[in-house]
Amino acid sequence: MELWPWLTAALLLALLLLQLSRSAKFYAKIGLYCVLCFTVSAVAVVVCLLRHGGRTVENMSIISWFIRSFKYLYGLRFEVKGRQKLEEDRPCVIISNHQSILDMMGLMEVLPDRCVQIAKRELLFLGPVGLIMYLGGVLFINRQRSRMAMTVISDVGERMVREKVPIIPVVYSSFSSFYNYKTKLFTPGTVKVEVLDAIPTAGLTIADVPELLDTCQQAMRTTFFHVSQLPQENGAPAGPDAQASQ
């Protein structure tokens, strides 16, 4: 019995479903995104090992180059304002708002050289994805063991205080116009990225941390609604989550 007619019919049916079903399109794009992440990570592992021989933050520029190429496949554009604030030759802590699995593409658009990221330990076990993150010098924290996680964060915090390192918030506009998990929307779109002015930490103590966090959150919240062109209800909507990297 010939299989080609059945395979052809199955392919045509799949193409028809993709045309008719927003959900099918959505999951197909998400599936492709995951496949890309694993495939590109495997390739990047080889390149990083050949170039630098092991774990080093220098590998992050290679990883960034691969990930930035994703935007062309998905028709995404990133308009960055204030990029020069991240190009100054000084240490700093970068915090950004978290929205979806697409955040990684946006982060790589502005990530400066020799930037060490912090990620949850579970990602280390995602095959080539975890391996390339390890080679890129990512610091992994175990959120199930709060004491160990706090030790890593505490080390970063102590260095901030010791070296009076400023905090630079990076805000990405809402993805809702082109990406929405609930409605299964995933189309080409534009993301506005704004790098805010550095928030100094010189002269601060541990007691000042709550006020410092509030200052960062308020600045990011205001900018998020501005670049997203969204109204702020009563001036106190639920602001974007913040994810830190050093």
What dihedral do alpha carbons 185, 191, 195, 196 form, nearest 10°? Answer: -60
In this structure, what token pair is assigned to residue 103? 């955040």
In this structure, what token pair is assigned to residue 203? 């002269």
pLDDT digits 0-9 by tens, 47-75 = 999 999 999 999 999 999 999 999 999 99
What pLDDT is attached to residue 149?
60
What pLDDT is attached to residue 227?
93
On the question of pLDDT at 243 being above 90, the answer is: no
22-52 and 4-20 helices cross at what angle (nearest 10)?
100
Average pLDDT over residues 164-190: 92
For residue 95, report the phi and psi dihedrals to the nearest 5 degrees. Answer: -120, 145
pLDDT digits 0-9 by tens, 207-218 = 887 888 899 999
What separation in angstroms does the CA of 159 have from each of 35, 164, 246? 38, 8, 10
103-110 and 60-68 helices cross at what angle (nearest 10)?
120
Contact 87, 112 (CB under 8 A): yes
pLDDT digits 0-9 by tens, 108-162 = 999 888 888 888 888 899 999 999 999 999 988 876 666 666 666 666 666 666 6
Least Cα distance to 159 among 91, 88, 95, 211 occurs for: 91
What pLDDT is attached to residue 201?
84
Cα–Cα distance measured from residue 134 to residue 56, given in angstroms and rounded to the nearest whole number: 9
Q: CA angle 97-74-60, nearest 5°?
A: 55
H or E stretch including 107?
helix 103-110
What pLDDT is attached to residue 244?
40
